[in-house]
Amino acid sequence: MALATLILMSFLFAATHIGMSHDPYRARLVEKLGEKGFQGVYSIVSLVTFIPAVSIFANNPKAGPVLWTTPLWLYPVVYLLMLLAFLLLVLSMRDRSPAMMIGGKMKAEGVLRVTRHPMNMAIACFALAHMIANGSLGDLAFFGSIFVVGFFGSYHQDQRKAREKGEPYAAFQQETSVLPFAAIVRGKTRLEAGEMRLPFVIIAVLAFVAAILVHEDLFGIRPF
């Protein structure tokens, strides 16, 4: 019963989060409710689906059949994804993306050279790391829903911001990327280490190390 409910709530969280933000549905809801009304309903629906999923997952870790066991050689990938998640999250607090609700300037600088959606990609990296490290069906459903919201939610934001902001945002898209480091690899921009601000990098690394150290005490699972 717990597994079925976890899968259902995880699915509803991802489906409603993506579905409600997808045009023409979003446009119709905004027309009926207004922008603030839509944001309120959107937030309530997200909480009503996500909080039960978190509660069920917390009380039923590793629920359901185990679909795979993570080989030791994959754990460095897990740690790198988690480190990247912390870096993107912390640095996004300084370099706000114009794609966010409270947006920043449309300029590829700092962490925005890595991805124009640092917060969403932090969520996606976190979820992907846990999907790799946890092969049970329940864990995959839970973290998979978070990955869908983080990763595919970025593309929905892009579509909406491109319509709202027009050419300036289109130009910003041309020199940045959704997928981390893709714009750098393609030569659209370059990584400027000096723009990352060392204090923010240190905070992210310390938070990453702290998460590893307290992981077993908080969640009962050794991270290595």
CA-based torsion, 78, 99, 155, 143: positive or negative: positive
Q: What is the mean pLDDT of residues 200-219?
A: 87
My answer on whether 88 and 190 are in the same domain is yes
| pLDDT, the chain, mean | 87
My answer on whether 48 and 71 are in the same domain is no
Q: From CA 191, how far away is CA 104, in angstroms rounded?
A: 19
My answer on whether 125 and 204 are in the same domain is yes
My answer on whether 170 and 96 are in the same domain is yes
Tokens 């049970």, located at residue: 136
Residue 125 domain-assigned (yes or no):
yes
My answer on whether 207 and 162 are in the same domain is yes
pLDDT digits (tens, 9 = 90+) for 90-145: 999 888 888 776 667 788 888 999 999 999 999 999 999 999 999 899 999 999 99
Residue 5 domain-assigned (yes or no):
yes
My answer on whether 50 and 80 are in the same domain is no
More confident residue, 23 or 150: 150
My answer on whether 82 and 24 are in the same domain is no
What is the domain count for the chain?
2
| pLDDT at residue 222 tops 70 | no
My answer on whether 73 and 30 are in the same domain is no
My answer on whether 29 and 6 are in the same domain is yes
More confident residue, 196 or 217: 196
My answer on whether 151 and 40 are in the same domain is no
Residue 195 domain-assigned (yes or no):
yes
Q: From CA 72, how far away is CA 20, in angstroms rounded?
A: 39
pLDDT at 224: 61
pLDDT at 215: 77
pLDDT digits (tens, 9 = 90+) for 163-193: 878 888 888 889 999 999 999 999 998 888 8
Q: From CA 201, how far away is CA 219, in angstroms rounded?
A: 26
pLDDT digits (tens, 9 = 90+) for 15-58: 988 887 777 777 777 778 777 887 888 888 889 999 999 999 98
My answer on whether 212 and 137 are in the same domain is yes
Question: Are 177 and 48 spatial neighbours (Cβ–Cβ below 8 Å)?
Answer: no
Q: What is the mean pLDDT of residues 5-21?
A: 89
Exposure string over 24-44, b if 16+ CB within 10 A, otherwise e: eebeebbeeeeeeebeeebee
My answer on whether 80 and 190 are in the same domain is yes
Residue 224 domain-assigned (yes or no):
no
Residue 142 domain-assigned (yes or no):
yes
Residue range(s) defining the domain that contains residue 198:
66-219
pLDDT at 169: 85
Closest CA to 219 of 79, 82, 58, 90: 58
Is the pTM above the cut of 0.85?
Answer: yes
Residue 73 domain-assigned (yes or no):
yes
